[in-house]
Amino acid sequence: MVKPSRHSDPSASEGSGRLDDLADLPALRPLPTAAERAAEVIRENIFEGRFAPGTPLPEAALSKALQVSRNTVREAFRMLTSEHLLTYEAHRGVMVRWLSEVDVGDIYRLRRMFELAALDHAIDGRHELDVSAIGDLVTTAERAAAAGRWKEVGTVNLRFHEQIVAAQQSPRINEVFRRLMTEIRLGFLVFTDPAELHGDFVPRNRELHGLIAGGDLRQARAELAIYLDEAEHRITTAIRGSSDRSGRSGRSRKEGQAGV
């Protein structure tokens, strides 16, 4: 069973079990290379709204700001481009990606495929959903919502869906889906009030968890489908609104964005 996990391998339950507890530690972020750290910072700045969609990111400026060399910045850019967070054009550099309505539609098409397939798998008994992990995530989201930490609510909600998809135990599905979840966060940025977006999804996730825990998987699947339709519609509407108001037709040359 080749589980290509970069970090500790879970098969460490043999021999002198003294170190086993250490293996379960949160692994305090190795973040090995400078490029990864740089990418992390840029990513964070994007999701905090400091680097808004459309913002060009010059290599020299980032190099100075992050205190790393230009080569390292370029390396970080490449990572973020492959995550679809930046768009790249030769000799023109990178800019923070604009998520269009078309993009959202495309992302949700993939979400439906992967998430509904996961439920189908569970219905057919091919794999099992991790009910307790799912429940924990809902609880975490509820606590964050109660405390008003809406950004965290959004993040945890996405992990909730990742956990569902993980039931298929497909490394590639997990990877692609994770990237989709990162990308869709660009769509969250158009909401000035995150509560508006995430607020009522928390109780619905709780309901989903209840259905799954109760074994009512068919009902859960139906609910999930509705959930996805509505989420897509809500983000699409928000994007349409914001693109009308703030004239963002400044998309310059050509029509689309390159660099996928």
Q: Which residues bind DNA (CB under 7 A)?
A: 2, 4, 32-35, 56-60, 67-72, 74-75, 90-94, 252-253
One of 18, 245, 253, 254 touching a copy of itself (CB under 8 A): 254
Q: For residue 255, which amino acid is it?
A: E
Q: For residue 110, which amino acid is it?
A: L
* Closer CB to DNA, 79 or 235, in the complex: 79
Residues near a copy of itself (CB under 8 A), total: 43
* Closer CB to a copy of itself, 84 or 209, in the complex: 84
Say what angle helices 217-245 and 171-188 make with each other, to 10 degrees.
Answer: 40
* Closer CB to DNA, 38 or 104, in the complex: 38
Shortest gap between Cβ of 44 and a copy of itself (angstroms)?
21
Residue 47 in contact with residue 148, Cβ under 8 Å?
A: no
Residue 119 in contact with residue 228, Cβ under 8 Å?
A: no
30 binds, among a copy of itself, DNA, none (CB under 5 to 8 A by kind): a copy of itself
DSSP assignment letter at 24: T
By CB under 8 A, is residue 78 in contact with a copy of itself? yes
Query: What is the C-alpha end-to-end distance of the chain, expressed in Å?
Result: 32
By CB under 8 A, is residue 229 in contact with a copy of itself? no
Of 163, 174, 56, 59, nearest to 119 by C-alpha is 163
CA distance linking residue 41 with residue 66, whole number of Å: 8
Shortest gap between Cβ of 49 and DNA (angstroms)?
21
Q: For residue 205, which amino acid is it?
A: N
69 binds, among a copy of itself, DNA, none (CB under 5 to 8 A by kind): DNA
By CB under 8 A, is residue 116 in contact with a copy of itself? no
DSSP assignment letter at 54: T
One of 168, 221, 227, 238 touching a copy of itself (CB under 8 A): 168
Shortest gap between Cβ of 48 and a copy of itself (angstroms)?
25
Token pair 């269009």 is at which residue?
Answer: 100
By CB under 8 A, is residue 250 in contact with a copy of itself? no
208, with CB counted inside 10 A (0-12, 13-18, 19+), is buried
Residue 57 in contact with residue 95, Cβ under 8 Å?
A: yes
* Closer CB to a copy of itself, 62 or 107, in the complex: 107
Which residues, 17 to 36, sit near a copy of itself by CB under 8 A? Answer: 30, 32-33
By CB under 8 A, is residue 12 in contact with a copy of itself? no
Q: Say how many CA atoms lie within 13 Å of 138 toward its Cβ.
A: 20
- Structure tokens of 23? 């293996």
The residues of the shown chain that bind a copy of itself, judged by CB under 8 A, are 1-6, 9, 11, 30, 32-33, 71, 74-75, 78-79, 82, 90-91, 100, 102-103, 106-107, 109-110, 113, 117, 168, 170-173, 175-176, 180, 254-260
